[in-house]
Amino acid sequence: MKLKVCGMKLENNILDVAELKPDYLGFIFYEKSPRYFNGEMPDLPEDIQKIGVFVNSKLEFILNKVEQYNLQGIQLHGNESPELCAQLQDKGLIVIKVFSIKNQFDFKVLEPYEDVCKYYLFDTKGKEPGGNGYTFNWNVLKKYRSNKSYFLSGGIGPEELDALLLFLKRPESDLCCTLDLNSKFETASGFKDLKKLKDFKYQLVKHGYVFE
């Protein structure tokens, strides 16, 4: 199991979170988000992959951000086409296609994306494209039939730890490769609470799901 901390915004906070050694850090390039990133990117350890988060952006805009910030991966939160995913994948980028879920979901919509992204990310369907702060019904994932690994996102925080540990023991979690953490670990939009993140990671390590 890997960890991704998303919605990073402030340079000093980015560096502090990097010391906790998450596998991915996410930077949002969607201007309507309170976590919109347009600052200076600090130097980060090579083993932390930088993921740019986009919502219905044009290919040129995405590639400009890839070059500007040396991004390794792209997370697509809108209605992006399989063709756009393929173009990004052909550039050697990690492509993560996001799908939003609430109490039900038709997994057939994944089929056109099977060969053009590395991972799916399942997030909570809400008012905003992401960062809504609450979980979706994870039981929906019992109907997941793809062999592709996925990120689990949407309102995961300390209060959800017990439910998360139960979920990770169930068969539908077998392809869950990464936990995506965001708003439940903030003291303000884009500013992460290091103690909360550290304690949460410790509990996952303790139960054998995340390794130092």
Ranges of the chain with pLDDT below 70: 126-134, 212
Residue 125 pLDDT: 75
157 — phi, psi (to 5°)? -155, -175
CA distance 183 to 11: 18
Cα-to-chain-centroid distance, residue 117: 14
E strand intervals along the chain: 2-5, 24-28, 49-54, 73-76, 94-101, 119-124, 150-152, 176-181, 186-188, 191-192
User: Can you say whether residue 85 is alpha, beta or left, with left for phi > 0 and alpha for psi between -120 and 50 degrees?
Assistant: alpha
Is the whole-model pTM more than 0.85? yes
Mean pLDDT of the chain: 95
What pLDDT digit, counting tens, does each position of 60-115 carry?
999 999 999 999 999 999 999 999 999 999 999 999 999 999 889 999 999 999 99
Residue 102 pLDDT: 86
